[in-house]
């Protein structure tokens, strides 16, 4: 199928004369009506858009083949990283194609395992997901949070581990929260917002988070309010309890700002908190507790991170692991050791230290493997972690300390041969000369120097690193002769705080320049051509794709912005969007407006431009990046398109930002993306 073939025109969106004024400039917003979640006209328009997209995808001879292949690839056991509470071990597990994983418990890290909670029984279609599990330290009870339809809203319940039965407790309207058990197990702390008005759950702005104590057996209406700051509506609260001393530790966050406050007081005490950190000037992540001592990973006076020990009884602080050229991103505190994971050129290094911080040994990792998770506690010698790579699925391991022996806890059968793939790392030069790393995954038997269909993926924001990770979509694409590329852009944390800040606010264009530089490097090396190069990213990565698409439509053969932040002038007006101002700035500020206006994808769509084939994806229950971003961008691109390439919008029903999505919906979405790629930049398309 040629990328110019599509039956019928895209469903036109009604245009209005709506205009906003920003600091003396008038900016049209003809699709403002697409923001109204309660508008029945939107539902009809979305149905028409989905039908239009379905007409294109159903004509693909590859779609069903990709769907079947993904189902085959997906059908393998997926054990999670174990963690210990009391004498019990817990993990999540999916035996293959089930929509959601189970929560399991055992008396040993290798099992045998039994099911404590099966999220597949919570809904008929798998759209209720288990998002949080917090087990009391004795292993007898757990608080768990579920999410419905992809929304970020959490509902908390409590389950008895022995009986598998729920207690009557139900806590609603929690969001961006964990649960911290009281030492005696009589209740737990959680954070929540006021219940939204009817019909506003997926669009209302999330401000004024509060910290509550829920005591088991009591209604939520009786929960004790522990902390609220009406004078600081953007502050949120993450609570932890030091079991040995009964002290409550609160990390105060403000959106996605990589800085936080740190407070404490004795549990049950009234009055003000003691301020360990009283202003937003650095990040302080409590990674472990031992007696009265906190172990804190911080970038205070250390742009690449350092570990300090902070004694709450004496106030004494001391360095445990000093900053180095590598970026320290994970520390786990075990009984006999500190286990650290740091980054060097976007590659993980795993090192065991003694409790004083002296390095004992580096643990050899498989080539280009990433450490996904490290579970340890200060009173337990066991350390559990999960390793993965581009060509190996997440696999749990037991790390023996201090000798560094790694023991796999699962043998995972695969429906493909990892030896048939090769992974390499290269570096591009961005416009300002910055060295930008990227990884390439391809079949070993591909002819070097011959251009191939290529999918370039990126993110570039919020201090998030893109490390080697496993994706069945990547496997299905590469085994068919495609090339997959993952770019490490500024805005992430690959090289510490300076690398992150170089991709924020007025420097955000650096991120797009880095992505374009990788694309041009791939073309120069002969890996691909513009006609065979597709770009993909989600959320902030959707912004990345939208900005690069509108800035360089000539450079790409296809684009797939997923759940993207695409209206940069109004993003902060919805749900948790205000929290992203630390990376973006806002249009409320004159300088912020000018920066955002220059790259906002929605506002840089130019009528009369021939845009490449574009598949825009979102979910109708996305209450993080509301679907109006994608709706408005799709309408604007379809209106402006001067070429014949399709501009498609795919809206998932009962779907959100991505977390908790059931397996069958993941397979459908990924098969549709692969079919779109095959039809536009793939081997079946002739440029």
Sheet strands side by side (includes 274-277): 235-242, 247-254, 260-266, 274-277
Strand partners, 595: none
Q: Are 421 and 476 in contact (CB under 8 A)?
A: no
Only one residue has tokens 């360095």, namely 319
Peptide bond into 594 cis (omega under 30): no
SS3 state at 576:
coil
502: phi then psi, degrees, rounded to nearest 5 = -70, -10
- The first and second tokens of residue 222, run together, are 């009786």
- Which residue spans within 151-204 are E strands per DSSP? 154-160, 166-174, 180-181, 187-192
Q: What residues are annotated to the active site?
A: 539, 657
| Measured distance CA(62)–CA(1) in Å, rounded | 10
- Find, among 616, 626, 617, 621, the residue nearest to 578 by Cα: 626
SS3 state at 511:
helix
Residue 110 burial (CB count, 10 A): 13
Strand partners, 138: none
Strand partners, 485: 440, 456
379: phi then psi, degrees, rounded to nearest 5 = -110, 15
Strand partners, 644: none
Q: Are 552 and 476 in contact (CB under 8 A)?
A: no
DSSP string over 208-236: --EEEEEETTS-GGG-EEEE--TT-TTEE
Q: Are 348 and 341 in contact (CB under 8 A)?
A: yes
Q: Are 628 and 564 in contact (CB under 8 A)?
A: no
| Greatest Cα pair distance in the chain | 73
Strands 187-192 and 180-181: antiparallel
CA 297 to chain centre: 21
Q: Are 563 and 618 in contact (CB under 8 A)?
A: yes
CA 138 to chain centre: 31
| Measured distance CA(340)–CA(318) in Å, rounded | 17
SS3 state at 339:
strand
Residue 358 burial (CB count, 10 A): 10
- The first and second tokens of residue 107, run together, are 């008396």
Q: Are 210 and 232 in contact (CB under 8 A)?
A: no
Question: H or E element: which one contains 169?
Answer: strand 166-174
Q: Are 487 and 494 in contact (CB under 8 A)?
A: no
Strand partners, 374: 385
What's 107's DSSP letter? Answer: S
- The first and second tokens of residue 95, run together, are 């035996």
Q: Provide the angle, in degrees to the nearest 10, between the axes of the packed helices 509-524 and 590-599.
A: 20
Measure Cα distances from 154 to 146, 161, 190 in Å: 6, 21, 11
| Measured distance CA(621)–CA(353) in Å, rounded | 45
Question: H or E element: which one contains 675?
Answer: helix 663-680
């Amino acid at each position: 199928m040629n990328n110019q073939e599509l039956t019928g025109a895209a469903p036109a969106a009604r245009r209005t004369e709506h205009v906003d004024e920003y600091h003396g400039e008038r900016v049209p917003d003809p699709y403002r009506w697409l923001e109204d979640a309660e508008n029945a006209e939107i539902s009809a328009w979305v149905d028409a858009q989905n039908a239009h997209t379905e007409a294109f995808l159903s004509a693909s001879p590859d779609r069903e083949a990709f769907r079947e292949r993904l189902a085959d690839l997906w059908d393998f056991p997926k054990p999670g990283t174990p963690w210990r509470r009391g004498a019990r071990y817990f993990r999540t597990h999916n035996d293959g194609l089930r929509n959601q994983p189970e929560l399991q418990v055992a008396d040993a890290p290798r099992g045998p395992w039994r099911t404590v909670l099966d999220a597949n029984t919570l809904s008929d279609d798998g759209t209720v997901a288990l998002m949080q599990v917090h087990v009391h330290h004795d292993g007898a009870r757990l608080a768990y949070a579920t999410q419905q339809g992809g929304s970020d809203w959490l509902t908390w319940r409590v389950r008895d581990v022995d009986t598998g039965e729920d207690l009557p407790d139900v806590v609603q309207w929690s969001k961006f929260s964990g649960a911290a058990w009281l030492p005696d197990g009589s209740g737990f702390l959680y954070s929540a917002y006021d219940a939204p008005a009817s019909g506003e759950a997926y669009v209302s702005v999330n401000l004024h988070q509060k910290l509550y104590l829920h005591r088991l057996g009591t209604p939520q209406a009786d929960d004790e309010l522990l902390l609220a700051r009406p004078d600081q509506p953007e502050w949120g609260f993450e609570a932890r309890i030091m079991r040995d001393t009964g002290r409550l530790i609160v990390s105060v966050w403000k959106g996605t700002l990589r800085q936080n406050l740190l407070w404490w007081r004795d549990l049950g005490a009234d009055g003000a908190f003691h301020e360990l950190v009283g202003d937003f000037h650095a990040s302080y992540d409590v990674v472990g507790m031992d007696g009265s001592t906190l172990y804190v990973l911080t970038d205070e006076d250390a742009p690449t991170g350092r570990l300090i020990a902070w004694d709450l009884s004496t106030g004494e602080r001391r360095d445990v692991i000093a900053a180095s050229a590598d970026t320290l991103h994970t520390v786990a505190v075990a009984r006999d050791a500190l286990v650290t994971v740091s980054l060097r050129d976007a590659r993980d290094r795993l090192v065991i230290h003694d409790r004083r911080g002296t390095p004992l040994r580096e643990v050899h990792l498989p080539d280009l493997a990433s450490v996904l998770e490290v579970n340890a506690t200060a009173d337990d010698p066991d350390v559990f972690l999960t390793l993965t790579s581009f060509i190996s699925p997440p696999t749990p391991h037991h790390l023996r300390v201090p000798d560094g022996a790694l023991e796999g806890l699962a043998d995972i059968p695969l429906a493909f041969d990892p030896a048939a793939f090769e992974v390499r790392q290269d570096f591009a030069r961005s416009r300002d000369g910055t060295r930008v790393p990227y990884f390439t995954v391809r079949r070993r038997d591909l002819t070097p120097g011959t251009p191939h269909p290529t999918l370039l993926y990126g993110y570039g924001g919020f201090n998030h690193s893109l490390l080697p990770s496993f994706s069945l979509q990547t496997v299905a694409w590469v085994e068919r002769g495609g090339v997959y590329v993952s770019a490490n852009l500024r805005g992430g944390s690959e090289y510490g705080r300076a690398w992150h800040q170089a991709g924020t606010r007025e420097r955000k264009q650096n991120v797009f320049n880095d992505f374009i530089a990788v694309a041009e490097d791939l073309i120069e090396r002969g890996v691909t051509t513009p006609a065979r190069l597709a770009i993909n990213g989600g959320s902030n990565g959707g912004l990345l794709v939208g900005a690069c698409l509108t800035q360089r439509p000539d450079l790409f053969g296809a684009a797939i912005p997923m759940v993207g932040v695409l209206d940069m002038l109004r993003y902060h007006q919805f749900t948790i969007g205000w929290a992203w101002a630390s990376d973006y700035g806002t249009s409320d500020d004159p300088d912020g407006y000018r920066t955002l206006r220059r790259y906002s994808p929605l506002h840089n769509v130019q009528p009369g431009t021939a845009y490449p084939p574009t598949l825009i994806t979102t979910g109708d229950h996305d209450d993080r990046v509301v679907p109006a971003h994608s709706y408005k961008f799709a309408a604007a691109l379809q209106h402006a398109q001067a070429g014949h390439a399709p501009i498609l919008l795919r809206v998932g029903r009962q779907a959100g930002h991505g977390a908790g999505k059931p397996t069958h919906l993941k397979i459908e979405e990924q098969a549709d993306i692969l079919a779109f790629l095959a039809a536009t930049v793939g081997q079946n398309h002739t440029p």
